[in-house]
Amino acid sequence: MIVSSEYYPAIQRPTSTLVRDAIVEVVPEGVRTADGTLHELDLLVVATGYDAKAFVTRIGLVGEDQRTPQEAWKDGFRTYQSVAIDGFPNFFMLGGPHSPFGHFSFVLSGEHQSRYAVRWMEAWARGEYETAAPTTAAVDRFTAELREKVKETTWGGSCVSWYQDAAGVPSLYPWSAKVFRDIMSRRVTADFEIRTKVSS
């Protein structure tokens, strides 16, 4: 999102040109784009964005079978309701891929996700399970539904942005804030592989 009252008028001036081709080379005269055009410049400002998933991929998280989030997401993001990943028992995310921070308060989103994770922790403290992780089927179902629904949103267009994963699918939650709050208000244990402590 561009939160500015000046950007759109500025880009519509006769002296402005929006170039969407990728930069393939920086040369003394300016930059050359993928279509071969040399764009002569006096000044080049490098603002390439940031890695939206770095908070998970850089913490050294390792799940079952020594799998990392990078491996789990090499073909695009896959999550369970934005808060968990199959194969990563007892791991819950706040603000992870598929969170609704494109159209919903990041703070409120995190609070709902925190409460969801706490419900699981409380169940663990009561001895209801030893480990819990979403099933691959539940993650696949949510991911498929999300990829279809996001096509109905503005993020589902052809614009390239940091919101997109390796498959080009926007990583945002495409449903309403109310739907998200409702989902985060309950634990669907049938969607999880739950292991209990083996008594000796």
CATH code where residue 88 lies: 3.50.50.60
Residues 139 and 183 in one domain: yes
Residues 30 and 84 in one domain: no
| Amino acid (one-letter) located at 44 | L
Question: Which residue has better confidence, 170 or 49?
Answer: 170
Scanning the structure block, which residue is given the tokens 């994963």?
Answer: 165
Contacts 24+ apart (CB under 8 A), 51-60: 52/97, 52/162, 52/163, 52/171, 53/77, 53/96, 53/97, 53/171, 55/95, 56/93, 56/96
Report whether pLDDT(199) > 90.
no
Residues 125 and 32 in one domain: no
pLDDT tens per residue, range 23-80: 999 999 999 999 999 999 999 988 766 666 676 878 889 999 999 999 999 998 999 9
pLDDT tens per residue, range 92-141: 999 889 999 888 888 999 999 999 999 999 999 999 999 999 999 999 99
Number of domains the chain is built from: 2
Q: Is residue 45 part of a domain?
A: no
Report whether pLDDT(187) > 60.
yes
Residues 17 and 103 in one domain: no
Residues 35 and 105 in one domain: no
Residues 126 and 189 in one domain: yes
Res 47: pLDDT: 76
Longest dimension (CA), the chain: 78
Cα–Cα dist 108/114, whole Å: 10
What is the domain range of residue 98? 54-195
Q: Which of 22-26, 170-174, 194-198 has the lowest mean pLDDT?
A: 194-198
Residues 20 and 59 in one domain: no
Output the pTM of the full model: 0.77
Cα–Cα dist 109/13, whole Å: 38
Cα–Cα dist 22/129, whole Å: 50
